[in-house]
Structure 1
């Protein structure tokens, strides 16, 4: 499963790497709303939550569905600006229908509210459907959707003021601290694109991002638990935005009417590389078999030969070998040769990471 961005025929100069203050504020607001997604940020979340004025905290709570479980596309600029004000000015130039569709995707949990369907601002059926979906998400979401549908300019102004208040409350200091690293990362990726090509540039973003050039097409493929496609060629390019607050998310904007954007976490020393969804599934399936689970229990305690495992569990040696081959293919075994014997031991570090790898893959 993946998000695929078709870039067939797209000149590489249309691929942009740049930091974005609005996208980073979006990532910070998500971390504040869902701190369990970001255990490494617990200290920052705690101190920032304490420092935010109560009145602003209340307004952020009222609108947090714009960034809590999914993100409003207008909060991830396709053409990043130098300042938050510059990017908010660009948001102000978006027409009401596109703005409302983006906001209602997060409020209503429905990707069907976009330019391919009738506008809820003008179509009574779409309007009623938007209100129905938002009501199912709770009274705050329903109230927000009602206000947005009734008076888009007023809600847009309210959201802008709230984001501007975040600037003085906490964002300006955090942005000043992380901007040099984000700018350096963007320059590094852009330099890789020029010197070594797109495959190396997207590979440096994350092992979860690859370039597929099969079948006469060219696609950027993002390893996510989704099945979505979009076109960077038709939209005039693709934008890549580094984030210091985004891990573990790879945020892909791919809705109709928007230039594709990928906001990716910058690499951090000491953190393991992301594991693919395929490998996570392979490891879960390998350990789901009752015999392999028993073998894993034994070799978790120390190295064993095939013969020892067969005797311990009253299995044939070929049967044990077949199960060990599955565990090895899933990257869960450490092997060591001692003379004419091969010893097998469970890779405890890979096994211990399985839970966090699973969650990271779900949240990616």
Structure 2
């Protein structure tokens, strides 16, 4: 097992050399005791990542030499025991203790610089399932990619929460939007969502900080399976919009799971894509807790139950985009691997409550 365990080191700002092996070799320096991922991103490195809190596993990195201290309990890590034994760690949770050599593929994604911009709420709309459709007209254009997320906060408040963009950025060279949209579910007791739901917030000034994450990137002509649980539909909508526009041939199957028929929201947005791109989008809503005597004629059960041989997709040739609560996403990932999907083509965003 590689030495990725905590070691007693003196504090300081000693410079450490990071040598990267992979599809795009590179060398850069960071301060000792700094987190590898944050330091790499601060230097503009195109490092794979998404959640930045040790949940998604996208920043998985192999330690070839040197010492890194993991700042997360390995028992809670998304890494397998075999990966840990073979020297893998999470860059977002790895403190660099000296010169290291690592293996990770850089340059796979387009890095969008972090920005902090202000704007005002231009749309506040209640949707089924205790969801708010929120749109913010920005004071200056904001760059992001489909599948990314940003922190939102009311002007003057220290409470901020992260949410995924629900629409793709404009299809120009800068991907700069003057208005952005989100789908936000009320979380009982949640400071931000309870404040948002209390009354119509149209016109209020907001701050947006981001973007973060890498989730919607893959060969644009590869067809995809999108699995969304609840407001995990937000990044799925953005990814669908962008990828359908980028390719003339890619097709998508969308599995959208909520508990009951009354909680289905934003179906009109999915139906608009179906109408805009005939024959290229299949929608399969599924309800996990719908009353047995209701008039619902669609699918019932959990989203994983639809991932089988009868779905009509070639699991070995497509990409997947999975968004929702952590247990659901992990169950879907396991199911897709069992169906023969390439692990490198599984792109996931695991939602975790914060605050």
Instruction: Give the TM-score range, shorter chain.
Output: under 0.3
**Structure with the largest fraction of strand:** 2
- TM-score, structure 2 normalization: 0.27
**Structure with the largest fraction of helix:** 1
Compare CA radii of gyration and give the structure with the larger one: 1
- TM-score, structure 1 normalization: 0.26
